[in-house]
Every structure is written in structure tokens, then in C-alpha cells.
Structure 1
Amino acid sequence: MAYAIITGASKGLGAAAAKQLLSEGLKVISVSRSENVDLKEIDQKGSGEYTHYSCDLGSPSEVKSVFTKIAGMVFQERGEEVYLINNAGMVDPIETAGNLDVEKTETHVNVNMLSPMIISNLFLNKADTSDARLVIANISSGAGSRPVHGWSIYCSTKAAINMFTQTTALELDNRKSHHRVFAFSPGIMDTDMQSTIRSSSKSAFNDIETFKNYKEEGKLRDAETVAGALVNVLKSDEIENGKIYQINDLL
């Protein structure tokens, strides 16, 4: 049976992807600080299996400890596929450079950039000792390819994830590995992150009115639709290694 390990699956895109993969019969492992009770109910009704691990993804030492255990368990069993979705992310602090909170910045970098790198490294290392095929999806953003006022940290960490994805893919191709890694840019979704963006200040974020209009004009996609596109790429036999998939090209 295939495994799907999803960070930040307590809500939003992560929860939607977890629900879909559970309904398709996969063993889903959710990793976040809080647990989504709906996933428990789906687990009891469906053919998949669900497990939750509590982890503060802002703590590199905790991430290393928890995911070392998960990787050891997943790759010890014989399985055809192991899917890893590095989904957990945050947009705070929304502020201009020079006014950033240092502690919030450190947490942001740990969650958005360092944790996916640590987790991917651990899983790739263990995958090479197994016959399972590992597919890694790193959730990116359009902000990773352009500057946005007030998002210097968010833009930087997403750009780093894009380059980490592309470099890892280059290394996998170089050694003719059957493992795959790609990034996925989900676009603007109706999630808690959008609420955080709309609650920021004009001085910290110039585009706040634009994002308020996205909500008022119904331009935010629901997480379930975006999760469907993500899962389709994840389970495809024709994943382009290192590619940054854009939601607008998939719907």
C-alpha cells in the first residue's frame, strides 16, 4: 500500500489533499501541531489508513526527530510508492525590511524553507535503502519568482524552495534515480493564509486592497479543487523532475 506524508494537513490545501488520498485508499500520515478531526472520521469510513504525528515544524530539532521516526517506519515496509507533500507554510511576518520581527522571521524560515529541506533530505536518504519510489511535492508560490512589497521573507523562502527542488531533481537525474521531486504553485485559495494577508496593514503590504477584492469578487479557488490538481500530478507516471507546476496550467 502506498504512503502519503503531508505536513500542515490540519487545514487548507494539506487537509484537502489528505482527504482525497485517504478516499483513494492510501496510508496517510499527517504532521502538524494540531490534528484535523475530519480525517479521523474519513479514516473510519474509507479504505485508507490515517495516522497523525504532532510536530512543531518551526523547530528543526523536533522536525529531525519526528521525521527520522516516520522515514524509518515508511521505508522499512515494502511499498510501491511513498508520496511526501511538504505543504506546511506561513506568510507572516508581513512587513517591510527594517521593520521585521526577528523571532517571527526565524520561525518563518524554519517552517517554509528549512523544514522541507530537512524532511526531503531524510526521506531521500532512507529511500535509497528501500525498493520504494519516492515522490516529493514542495508547495511553492508565485511569490517565489517575483518580489512582493511586504513579503521579503515569504518571497525569499519560496524562491529557495524552488531552487532546492530544481537542484535536487538535477542530482537525482544525474544518478539516474527513479525518485521524483517537483514544486507546485497553488495560486490564490480561500484559506486561513488569505485571511492573514487581508488583515495586514497598508503600510506593511501595498497590495492589501487587491487581495481584499479577490475575496469579495469570488476569485479565490477552494482548496479541494487545487488539491485535486496536486494529487493528479503527484500520482502521474509522467512527472517532469524539478518542474514548478502552476495551478493555472492544470485547471
Structure 2
Amino acid sequence: MRFAIITGASKGLGASIAERMITEKVGVIAVSRTENAELKEKASVNQVFYQHFSCNLAVPEEVEKCFHEILSLLDSKKPEITYVINNAGAIDPITTVGTLDHQALVQNVNVNLTAPMVITNTLLKLRGSKLKIVNVSSGAAERPIQGWSAYCSTKAGLNMFTETAAAELQTAGSDHEIIAFSPGIMDTDMQSTIRSSSKEAFFDLEKFKEYKEQGLLRPAETVANALVNLLFGDQVESGKIYRVNDLI
């Protein structure tokens, strides 16, 4: 028996990953503020385990409570392999340093960095199931993008957390694996948010509008399949930062 825990599973890349997992007869634990009814129906039709947990990942206390409940569920199910996809992400605030809204800044850090750290820390207490953890990163983790100081910083932090956790697991002789995955530019709601920002707040605004106009945004389904294919293979290198362009 295999399970997949997917944050941000209600739409975009998260929903596409969940759909593929259900097709592959992998039980899905979806974590998001709202539930995707189509996923629930697809799981029912395919006779695959599915459960949704409502959680606001911007609130660390909610994350801790939610994942202790998930940990108890997994203890009772005893899956052979548990895939953990820390997919949920926040792009806002999009603006230059000096004009950042502090509440939005804290929410960004909580969703993009604190939540995956808390989730990983909690689930590593699971016994009897191999964990394959994926932290969804971004190319923005590797270069400065004007207007994205929060997003770039949190994704860079997530990459370093991934590499450090992998080194610790290796030293401990654990067979758990943890990687980061950079999905590239996709046709999702996040891209819509980016395109709706202002030139003053986001220097590269016109470039991102051109991505959409020129059809350069990959479908989320394509990216999801590349990631799941990687996870189902035997060549995952723990601690590595994988980029979608190297997998497609």
C-alpha cells in the first residue's frame, strides 16, 4: 500500500499530482483550505483511499495540529511508501523591499518555508513506512527577481533545508529520501497573480505576460507527470534539486 500527502491539492500542480496518484492506485491525503470535489469523485470511481484535511498553511499551529492527525492516520494504515509533496506556495507580496506589507511577508514565509519544515519534521517520526519527500521549489530560489524578495528568499531557504535534511538522514543511515523540485513556469493561478501585478512592483512583468501570450507556460499535468515518474523510478538522489527541464 502506498500513500501520497499533497499540500495545495485543490488546484494547479497539486491537483494534477493528486489525479496522477489516484490513477496509479496510490491513496491520497489532500491538504488545502478548500476541497477539490473532482478529486474525491475520481478516487471513489477508482476505489482509491482519499481524505481531505482542511488546513491554513499560513498558520503554524494549524499545520502542526493537522499533521499530527495525519501522522496518526498513517500509523493506522501502515503504508509501505509515503510520498510527501510540499507543493503549496505563495507568491505575494509582489513588491519592492521598503514597501512590503509585513503581514503578507510573514504569511509568505509561513506557507513557503515554515510549513514544509514543520511537516517534514513531524512526518519523520513515522515508523514502518519509507518517506519520499518533495519540496516544490522554484528557479527563483537561484537568482534575484525584483519584486519577489520574499518568494526568492523562502524558496532558497527551502532548497537549503532540503539539502541539510538529506545530509542528516544519510548520516543517520536512514532510507528516507528528500528532494527539491523546480517545476518551471506553468499555466496556473499563480501565473495569473503575477500578471496582475504592476510594473512598479514587479520589474519583469512584461516578460511574464509574454510567456502566456506566446504559449510558453507548461500545463500543470505535464509537470506533475514528470515529478511522479521521477518518484516512481529507482534513481532518486536524496538532497538533489531536480529541475523539470531535465526530466522532460
- Relative to the length of structure 2, the TM-score reads 0.98
The Cα shift of 1:131 comes to 1.7
- Superposed displacement of residue 10, structure 1: 0.4
Deviations 1:84-110 (A, max 9, x none): 000000100000000000011111110
- The alignment status of 1:246 with 2:243, answered yes or no, reads yes
Alignment of 1:32-181 (within 5 A): 32-125=32-125, 127=126, 130-181=127-178
Task: Report the equivalent of 1:206.
Answer: 203
Cα deviation 1:173-219 (Å, max 9, x = unaligned)? 11111000000000000000000000000011110000000000000
**One-letter code aligned to 2:238:** N
Q: Which amino acid aligns with 1:81?
A: I
| Residue 22 (structure 1) aligns with | 22
Q: What are the superposed Cα offsets for residues 126-150 of structure 1, whole Å, 9 maximum, x if unpaired?
A: x2xx221011000000000110000
Distance 2:231 2:52 in 1: 21
SS in 1 for 2:133: strand
Q: Deviations over 1:62-99 (max 9, x none)?
A: 10001011012113332210110000001000000000
For the residues of structure 2 that align with 1:191 and 1:111, how far apart are their CA atoms?
17
* Count, aligned residues: 248
Q: What's the secondary structure of 1:143's corresponding residue?
A: helix
Is the contact made by 1:23 and 1:47 (CA closer than 8 Å) also made in structure 2?
A: no
Amino acid at match of 2:70: I
CA contact (8 A) 1:202 1:208 kept: yes
Identity, in percent, stands at: 55
Question: Aligned partner of 2:237: which letter?
Answer: E
Q: What is the CA-CA distance between 1:113 and the residue it aligns to?
A: 0.4
C-alpha separation in 2, matches of 1:49 and 1:122: 22
2:213 is equivalent to residue 225 of structure 1: no
The amino acid of 1:167's aligned partner reads: T
SS class of match (2:76): coil
Counterpart secondary structure, 2:41:
helix
Whether the 8 Å CA contact 1:24–1:48 is kept in 2: the answer is no
Q: Is the 8 A contact 1:144 1:158 kept in 2?
A: yes
Matched residues in 1 for 2:128 and 2:56: separation?
30
Letter in structure 2 aligned against 1:96:
T
User: Can you list the C-alpha shifts for 1:16-59, whole angstroms capped at 9, x where unaligned?
Assistant: 00000011111100000011111011012113221101001000
- Contact map agreement 1:93 1:101 (CA 8 A) in 2: yes
Unaligned runs of 5+ in 2: none
